């Protein structure tokens, strides 16, 4: 079984994925707007230029996303964190610094009893992240 992650944005999917491409040094592999859907697909009039589906590799998963058409209501992020770990502490610090820019920090990077380096932040798009250097398995 393979598990991936799908994020829903309020019109900021393209901007968010451009930010994630830069931050994670990855590339969007697929993007389709609602207006590019096959003929006959039910496309809300207020969503033609919004993202219906976008995806890019992120570590061992495929990060996917879309924009919620305004007629469907405004989605809110929350209730979960995307957890990333890397053996390279400098890379964890670099990614954390980029993700927190324009967002907020819930827990600054630091040593914990489970990791030599761990921190939590929310990026400027409302996505919550946990970053760490692996420690002992608990």
CATH node for 5-72: 3.30.720.100
Side-chain-side CA neighbours of 24 within 13 Å: the count stands at 22
Give the model's pLDDT for residue 94. 98
Query: Which residues, in sequence order, are bridge partners of residue 61?
Result: 58
- What are the residue boundaries of the structural domains of the chain, listed by start? 5-72, 82-133
- In three-state secondary structure terms, 23 is helix
Question: So what's the pLDDT on residue 102?
Answer: 98
Q: What's the whole-model pTM score? A: 0.91
| Mean pLDDT, residues 123-127 taken together | 96
Q: What is the pLDDT of residue 69?
A: 86
* Residue 130 confidence (pLDDT) above 90: yes
CA-wise closest residue to 69 among 46, 49, 53: 46
57-97 pLDDT, tens per residue? 999 999 999 999 887 777 777 789 999 999 999 999 999 99
Distances (CA, A) of 14 to 30, 33, 46, 104: 11, 10, 16, 21
Which CATH number does 82-133 carry?
3.30.720.110
Please tell me the predicted confidence (pLDDT) of residue 138: 54
pLDDT tens digits, 95-120: 999 999 999 999 999 999 999 999 99
Strand blocks (E) in the chain: 5-9, 30-33, 51-58, 61-67, 82-85, 104-110, 117-122, 128-133
Domain 5-72 matches domain 82-133 at the CATH topology level: yes
Report the share of the chain in percent with pLDDT over 70. Answer: 99
């Amino acid at each position: 079984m393979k598990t991936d992650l799908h994020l829903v944005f309020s019109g900021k999917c393209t901007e968010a994925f451009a930010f994630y491409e830069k931050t994670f040094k990855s590339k969007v592999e697929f993007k389709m707007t609602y207006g590019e859907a096959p003929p006959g697909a039910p496309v809300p009039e207020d969503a033609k230029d919004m993202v219906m589906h976008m995806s890019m590799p992120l570590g061992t998963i495929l990060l996917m996303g879309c924009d919620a058409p305004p007629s469907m209501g405004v989605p809110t992020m929350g209730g979960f964190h995307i957890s990333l770990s890397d053996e390279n502490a400098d890379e964890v610090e670099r990614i954390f610094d980029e993700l927190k820019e324009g967002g907020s920090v819930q827990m600054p990077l630091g040593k914990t009893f489970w990791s030599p380096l761990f921190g939590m932040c929310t990026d400027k798009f409302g996505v919550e992240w946990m970053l760490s250097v692996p420690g002992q398995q608990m």
